[in-house]
Structures are given as C-alpha cells and as structure tokens.
Chain A
C-alpha cells in the first residue's frame, strides 16, 4: 500500500513530462490564410512589385509555431493583390520595385490563458533600377489570443502569431499605400 502511494507521484510526473513533450511536437507553423490582411486603400501604385522575405524559419518538432519566409511572402502577396496596392506581383527579378520584409524577432510566451505576441519586422521598398529606397521602416505589431480562441495552448500560440503577422502586414502595406512613388 505504501509503495503504491510512492509510485503515484512518479507516474504523475512521467505522464506530465510526456504530455509536455507531446504538446511541443504538435506545434504547427503560422498559416498563410491566417496572416492575410485586409488593406483598405484607394491607391494603386502603377508598378509591379517583387517580394523578398527573410528572417523566418520552419517549425521544428520541438519548436513553438514559427513563420516561414515562404508563407509570409504568400500572405503579403495575397494582401497586396486583394488591396490592389500594386498593379501586379512579380516572381523573380523583373519587377519595378522590390519589397523586402525581414522578421526581426517575436516573443514566445509558454504559459497562460492568453498569449500576447509582439512581432517586429523591417520593411523596405526599393526601386530595382535606381536601387533607391522609397520606404524604410521598422514595424511592430501585437496580437493576443485568449482561451476563448482555443483551449489548446499550441493553437492559441499559433493564432496569436498569425494575428501579429496579419496586423504587421496591414500596417506595412498601409504605409506603402500612402507614399508617393514617382515613375
């Protein structure tokens, strides 16, 4: 009887550790559709743009959700097309302007009913012919995902990250929509 009581705490710890391990492994990357922003603007720059994202990373088995460069670029591309901010988005080097977006950092909360993630990125828009930068700005955005959004911690984390990315894209593209770009 006494030994059973001794075993219980150890088994409880073992189950807890395995559960934590399992939850880490369940993390999924931030999805493109969750990061696409609705940008309301009447401005359409009469140029083509290419998108270059960097600083992101794939979500590893032991990582929390991360933003991949490819998914972030797709989300920016869809947001530009939906908001008609440029006449076209070009893949490759044949564009009039190059939009560079670098993911600088974001915090990774581990515990709590609500996860608040702050994402900092660096945005630049460069004329591909003259190499003149017409816009350069660091943009910081924050989004909170609460227990009501998801009871599963790893999903809550991903939703917070996607929300921060979506707001970041919205701010960045609204900045771009407001600048006057010369022919």
Chain B
C-alpha cells in the first residue's frame, strides 16, 4: 500500500516539475523600427527614468548610448535639445536570486511622443542575463539597421 502511495506521489511531483519547467528556457529578443523613422539622424537621447526602477537601469541605458558615440542624458524631464526620448519597463523575477526577466525599451519622438522604435528582450531563469547585457541586447537590436 505504501509503495502505491509513493508511486503516486512521485508521478504527481514529476508532473509538477514538468509543468514548472516547461516555461523555463524562453529566450526572445525583438526590435522593430517604424518605416517613417530615421534613427541615423539621432544624435542626442534623453532617458526618462521608469518610476518603479530602483536599480538605475536608466544609467545603464545612457552608458550604452554613450558607448555608441551619441549624447545621453537621464532624468524625469527630457532635455530641451533631445532628438529622441527613451522610455523603458524592466520586469524582475526571483529564482534563488532576483534577475531581470524582461526589458522593453521604446524610442520616442519628443515632439509628439510617437514611438519610433521598440525593442524587447525576454530571458527566463536558466538563460538569464545581467541588466547590462539585457540593455546591450535591446539597444543593439534597435539601432542595428540605422
């Protein structure tokens, strides 16, 4: 009787693990640029800090932009001379430690707030990337074809 119980518990546990693991290794990195956008003409970008962000992702984005030879500023109010504004949303998960599961970055025209380009990276726990690597992946994909 006890053997039967142990077998059923094993099956249930196995199903639970399969169910949880089925979504564990998802990697997605996409970027789209609007046909009317000319990202090559952008020289100065302002990164607007996402309200709930307490990990200074805005600074990482600004650093990445500067490494591309462009001017970058951060803060809640866009600088007057910005050619584009970046907004972003970072999502975090816990699995042993906290990690960034998803980062979405939008490049907008400061004149009308229109979204010129959007990039997204999604990496689950087993293939997690550091915040700097996530930022690098998204920004690189957005500006790849400029």
B59 interfacial contact with A, CB 8 Å? no
Cα distance, A142 to B76, chains bound together (Å):
28
With A21-B22, A124-B114, A138-B115 known as contacts, the answer to whether A14 contacts B35 (CB < 8 A) is: no
Report B-chain residues with C-beta under 8 Å of the C-beta of A17: 15-16, 19
Report A-chain residues with C-beta under 8 Å of the C-beta of B80: none
B104 interfacial contact with A, CB 8 Å? yes
A151 interfacial contact with B, CB 8 Å? no
Q: Mark A121-165, 1 if CB is under 8 A from B, else 0.
A: 010101000010100111000000000000000000000000000
Report B-chain residues with C-beta under 8 Å of the C-beta of A98: 35
A10 near B12: Cβ-Cβ < 8 Å: yes
Cα distance, A124 to B36, chains bound together (Å):
7
Cα distance, A7 to B35, chains bound together (Å):
59
B27 interfacial contact with A, CB 8 Å? no
Closest A residue to B120 by beta carbon equals: A105
Further 19 A-B residue pairs, CB within 8 A, beyond A14-B11, A52-B35, A55-B30 = A3-B1, A3-B4, A3-B5, A7-B4, A10-B8, A10-B12, A17-B16, A17-B19, A18-B19, A62-B23, A98-B35, A100-B36, A102-B32, A104-B115, A122-B34, A122-B114, A122-B118, A124-B34, A136-B109
Chain B interface (Cβ < 8 Å from any Cβ of A):
1-2, 4-5, 8-9, 11-12, 15-16, 18-19, 22-23, 30, 32, 34-36, 104, 106, 109, 112-115, 118
- What would be 11 A-B contacts, judged by CB atoms less than 8 Å apart? A3-B2, A6-B5, A13-B16, A17-B16, A18-B15, A55-B32, A57-B30, A122-B115, A122-B118, A136-B34, A136-B109
